[in-house]
């Protein structure tokens, strides 16, 4: 018997709308209606996928709840799992040093991952795990409602842009998906092993800074 083709988890459906998760006290919430604390409360001690059994800490996200720029990575690594915060350790230091190229500081941005719990031995997240976890990320995005989403690496890029193409081909330009301007680029951790990607990531961050300068906040 032929198996049904499984839908790839993504930010938007084919019609360009974002699925809505049931949040207590809200009926089909609008952008910026639900707080990050409410979403975190729904997550609780999540065991919706097997990663709940192997994590040390659930890594929800951190940063400015009203950020204009939201960064999305792949999933927690070892340090993040131990500390319960995304982008600590070497990848976090690398990201901090890159933010200045876009005129940003760490306190300006919000950072979250596609999945909230560390895959054992830092293996890639499985499609079922992304499917289970992605409603929480969608609600974080809806809560913050940033102007720009920066996708760090393939998993975030493919989730947000609803594509199977890799970041190597997609980076270097901006995309529009619904309300969001999207910038796919390399994950800072990847540049630790691929030093030739670092200047490309730096160029992307300068492009982000130029976009922000060209699109000042409307009061």
Residues that bind ligand SF4 (CB under 6 A): 43, 46-49, 51-52, 58, 115-117, 129, 132-133
Closest CA to 171 of 215, 179, 158: 158
Minimum Å distance from CB 153 to ligand SF4?
17
Q: Which is nearer to ligand SF4, 43 or 82 (CB)?
A: 43
Q: In Å, how far are 72, 102, 201, 208, 214 from 195, measured between CA atoms?
A: 21, 20, 10, 21, 30
Q: Which is nearer to ligand SF4, 7 or 213 (CB)?
A: 7
Closest CA to 189 of 121, 125, 93, 109: 93
Q: Which is nearer to ligand SF4, 58 or 91 (CB)?
A: 58
Q: Which helix (H) or strand (E) holds 112?
A: strand 110-113
* CB contact at 8 A, 191 and 198: yes
Q: Which is nearer to ligand SF4, 24 or 216 (CB)?
A: 24
Q: Which is nearer to ligand SF4, 112 or 207 (CB)?
A: 112
Minimum Å distance from CB 144 to ligand SF4?
18
Minimum Å distance from CB 70 to ligand SF4?
18
**Angle, in degrees to the nearest 10, between helices 154-161 and 127-144:** 70
Minimum Å distance from CB 20 to ligand SF4?
17
Minimum Å distance from CB 119 to ligand SF4?
8
Q: What angle do CA 90, 127, 83 make, to 5 degrees?
A: 30
């Amino acid at each position: 018997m032929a198996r049904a083709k499984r839908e790839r988890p993504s930010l938007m459906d084919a019609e360009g709308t974002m699925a809505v998760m049931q949040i207590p006290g809200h009926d089909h919430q609008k952008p910026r209606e639900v707080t990050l604390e409410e979403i975190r409360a729904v997550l609780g001690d999540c065991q919706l996928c097997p990663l709940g059994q192997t994590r040390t800490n659930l890594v929800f996200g951190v940063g400015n709840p009203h950020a204009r720029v939201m960064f999305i990575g792949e999933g927690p690594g070892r340090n993040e799992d131990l500390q319960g915060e995304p982008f600590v350790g070497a990848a976090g230091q690398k990201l901090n040093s890159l933010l200045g190229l876009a005129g940003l500081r760490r306190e300006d941005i919000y950072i979250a991952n596609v999945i909230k719990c560390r895959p054992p031995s830092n293996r890639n997240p499985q499609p079922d795990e992304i499917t289970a976890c992605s409603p929480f990320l969608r609600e974080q995005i809806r809560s913050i409602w940033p102007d720009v989403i920066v996708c760090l690496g393939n998993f975030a890029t493919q989730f947000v842009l609803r594509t199977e193409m890799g970041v190597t081909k997609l980076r270097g330009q901006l995309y529009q998906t619904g309300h969001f301007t999207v910038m796919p680029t390399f994950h800072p951790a990847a540049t630790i092993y691929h030093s030739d990607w670092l200047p490309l990531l730096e160029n992307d961050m300068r492009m982000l800074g130029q976009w922000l300068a060209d699109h000042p906040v409307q009061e």
